[in-house]
Amino acid sequence: MKKLIFLTNDDGYQSKGLLSMRETLIKAGFEVVTVTPDRNMSGTSHSLTFTRPLKIVKLEENFYYVADGTPADCVHLGLNVILEGKKPDLLVSGINTGPNIGNDVFYSGTVGAAREGTLFDIPSIAFSVGSSKNPNYPEIAEVGLKIVKAVMLKGLPKGVFLNVNIPTIPKNQIKGFLLTKQGRSAYKEEIVKYLSPSKEEYYWIGGEEALLEECQPGTDYTAVKEGFVSITPIKLDLTDHLAIETLDKENFLSEIMRF
């Protein structure tokens, strides 16, 4: 029986990265159910929609989009409505049209979808390219397939998903795969101010390519910059357990009680 992969993204159902990954997974012999937003939903992180109804639209067999839905909405509805609670063997999010490194993991809808899959206790992987400049998505999907097969075979620790960034270079020039830590990150924030014809101010929040000086050895960004595939394990539990011990030793709670 074929292994079932749930495929989603944050760039919408027409994304070249998504379509390349879908084709590659199907050719590799997997059953692939694809549920995506209807358009680019980058930067939506792990948000779920509670303030309006959502509509599922079927494009073709095993391929759907959620009108006005976030990536996490797509996972939530895909698992509970389309698959009717049937648990896939793996969730794949991407391939994203740009990198998701460093602090991007807090904003990224691609990563948010993988996090949502992990909440459902499904092994999950978020795939992104190291640069948005002319990525060869079919080749990148072939590289990603190696990681998919490894996770299918070995599994992942409970409560952990993988954030993968693949360099935008020819496949035969990739130096290998590295387990990395989340970098500090990485974008030089840019806010552009505009004036409307009625002289009203409005703003566009964007970013530029990651800056080398922000990187440290062993991080996601450094790995990609040096031509390696970065594989960063991300856990659901964000608690800083060492900080709990430190605050306890410093009698932090006793200080609160003094006020």
10 is in an annotated binding site: yes
For 245, other C-beta atoms within 10 Å of its C-beta total 10
Q: How far apart are CA 194 and CA 22, in angstroms?
A: 39
Alpha-carbon gap, residue 247 to 238, rounded angstroms? 16
Q: Which amino acid is at 78?
A: G
Report the distance separating Cα 137 and Cα 125, nearest Å. 17
Annotated binding residue 104: no
C-alpha of 196 from chain center: 34
Q: Say which DSSP state 74 is in.
A: H
**42 belongs to an annotated ligand binding site:** yes
Say if residue 11 carries a ligand binding annotation: yes
What residues are designated binding site for a divalent metal cation? 10-11, 42, 96
Annotated binding site: 10-11, 42, 96
